[in-house]
Every structure is written in structure tokens, then in C-alpha cells.
Amino acid sequence: MKAIVYERYGSPDVLQLKEVEKPAPLNDEILIKVHAAEATKADCELRSFNFAVKWFWLPLRIAMGLRKPKRQILGGYFAGEVESVGKDVSRFKRGDQVFGSTKLRMGAYGEYVCLPHSYTIVPKPNNLSFEEAAAVPLGGLNALHFLRKANIRNGEKILINGAGGSIGTFAVQIAKVMDAEVTAVDSTIKEEMLRRIGADYFFDYTKQKFTQSGETYDVIFDMVASSSYSECVNALKPKGRYLMANPRMSDMLRSVFTSMFTDKTVIFVFAGEKEEELLALKKMIEEGKLKSIVDKIYPLEQAAEAHRRVETEQRLGTIVISVGN
């Protein structure tokens, strides 16, 4: 089968289209013919081994490969079709259209991937293409996880910092489903798109820091690793909640004291990517409450270009690699 392989860490140029052995499912696995995979910021960080948040660098490097990557096919989020199943699998059958997560097994940048049937894999929404469906799990699962933790009430004010990325575009929409008033923060080119998907207000971070506006919020959902912890906490209303998607170690330590000794709560519990959450997203999509925001679709052989597009931060939504079509 064809797959995008990287045999060393580095720039997008290390991504190469190669013929590799097609996997075969074990007894508890399903073989999926991949139609599309999201090209994520995490894929780019794993490829280069350069992370915005540094504290997990060493343990992750040990797990993923000290000198070169152990798993040489990237791709954590996909949509495709079940090709075959192991003898112990009953919840899937050949021909099922599915989408979901490969977790740290990766592998979705290949024409086929084998995954345990217990992974977060569910039927694809019937009103999305494979490419649109592949753009859902990363952003949708993380956004839904954090916003549920915030216990948002009708009419509360939420600010989403980094709203134009994979997680942020779903966070804007889910927050509106929860009847919140949404302020989106990102660069100038993303304003129109963010207002179109539901943002009530917009801050252009290249012109003004939202923490200096004098506005306060019930919830701040922050995807930006370089944010000032103290400034964000100060921008919360009494009993406000600060959700950190990319926390630094120092901020995680400070969060304990903020939550214990003030009336504000700081949350950084990472998403478990549960099946129930993905089914909830599927239901909202099929009901027309959420939509997939795809910036551009690249063919498999242009995976390096897809990574370059992700790294420019100029994308208006999600970047998808079309694998099997």
C-alpha cells in the first residue's frame, strides 16, 4: 500500500510517499481503508519534534523514538471504510463507514490502518464527506471535553483564544449550542470565518491584547501556549473558569493554588477522546448544529505541502489529506 513515511525528524521535506506492507488485523482489530486524514499541528510537532509546550519533550521522545521515529506513518484522526475485521470483533463489519482516532498508534497517512475495535471509532455522520468527517475528531473531541468541564450556563460570556484552529472552530460552534455569548481571538484573516460560524465578537491579537480591553468573562478557553496565566485569570469574572488546552508546567502548578484559594477555577484535564463524546458530535452534526470547517484538501503525495500550510497558521479551518480517493 502507499503511505507517507518519515524516517527522521525534521522539516516537511522528510515526508516521503513510499510503498509499505499492508497491515493485517489481529483478532481484536479492524482493518480500515483510509479515505482522509487530518493534517494536525500535533503531526507537525511530532515530525519536527518541536513543541510549543516543552515539559513532556523527553518522555514523549523516549516513547516515540530517541534517534528516529518508531512509528513512521503519522496521522491520528481519520475517516474511512472497514475493509475487514478480526474474529473477535462483532461491532463492525466490512463496508461500515467510520471516523475516529488512532491514538498514539498513528498510521492514518496510509491507505490502510489496523486499530483495536475498542478505540474511539464510530459511524461517520451521514451528511459529511470523508474529508469533512476526518476534520472532526481532533477539534471536536477536545472542544467538547473542555466546554463540558466548564459547565457553561445560558448567556454566559466565553472567550476562545486561538479560535481559528482545529479545536477553536468547534469550540465556537459548541459554545453557541450551549447558548453562550462568544468572543473569538485570532488573526485578522480569520475574522470573517469565525463570525460566520457563530462568534459574536472578535479580537485581532495582532492589534490588541484581549486582556487589556477591560472586558471580563465567565469562561476563557485558551489554546495559546504563550498566554500570560495571570492576565487570563485576571480577565475572569468572579467564579470564572480558565480552560488551558496547552498548559506549561509552571501554569499547571499555579492552577492548584488559584483553584484552592480564590473563587476562580483553572482546568487542564486533557481530553480522553471517548466514544460517547464522538457520538455526541456525530448527533450534533447530523442535526445541523455543528459543521466541519475545512480550509484545504491535499492529495496524499502532497502531505509535505499540507504540513507547510498548517505551520503557516494562515489556514481558515482544518487541513485534510485525501488518502484513498
Rounded to an integer, the average pLDDT of 148-156 is 96
Rounded to an integer, the average pLDDT of 16-33 is 97
Whole-number pLDDT of residue 319: 97
pLDDT tens-digit readout, 51-73? 766 666 677 777 778 789 989 99
Whole-number pLDDT of residue 11: 97
Does residue 300 share a domain with residue 222? no
- Please check the confidence at residue 193 and state whether its pLDDT lies above 90: yes
Does residue 143 share a domain with residue 126? no
The residues facing 85 across adjacent strands are 30
Does residue 142 share a domain with residue 231? yes
Number of domains into which the chain is organized:
2
Whole-number pLDDT of residue 57: 61
- Please check the confidence at residue 291 and state whether its pLDDT lies above 70: yes
More confident residue, 165 or 66: 165
Does residue 149 share a domain with residue 122? no
Average model confidence (pLDDT) across the chain: 94
Does residue 125 share a domain with residue 247? no
Whole-number pLDDT of residue 54: 61
More confident residue, 246 or 101: 101
Whole-number pLDDT of residue 50: 83
CA gap 267, 149 in Å, rounded: 8
Report the CATH number at residue 152.
3.40.50.720
Does residue 83 share a domain with residue 169? no
Domain-located, residue 283:
no
Does residue 131 share a domain with residue 96? yes
Does residue 145 share a domain with residue 112? no
Does residue 263 share a domain with residue 240? yes
CA dihedral of residues 189, 50, 267, 147 (deg, nearest 10): 40
Domain-located, residue 279:
no
Rounded to an integer, the average pLDDT of 12-17 is 98
Does residue 111 share a domain with residue 63? yes
- Please check the confidence at residue 277 and state whether its pLDDT lies above 90: yes
pLDDT tens-digit readout, 233-245? 999 999 999 999 9
pTM of the model: 0.94
Residue 212: domain span: 138-267
Does residue 143 share a domain with residue 45? no
Domain-located, residue 52:
yes
Q: Which three cell numbers stand for residue 189?
A: 484573516
pLDDT tens-digit readout, 83-133? 999 999 999 999 999 999 999 899 999 999 999 999 999 999 999 999 999
- Please check the confidence at residue 325 and state whether its pLDDT lies above 80: no
Report the CATH number at residue 36.
3.90.180.10
pLDDT tens-digit readout, 199-216? 999 999 999 999 999 999
CA gap 207, 125 in Å, rounded: 39
Q: Which three cell numbers stand for residue 113?
A: 490502518
The residues facing 114 across adjacent strands are 31
Q: Name 122's Cβ contacts closer than 8 Å, sequence gap at least 6.
A: 98, 99, 100, 275, 278, 279, 282
Does residue 111 share a domain with residue 187? no
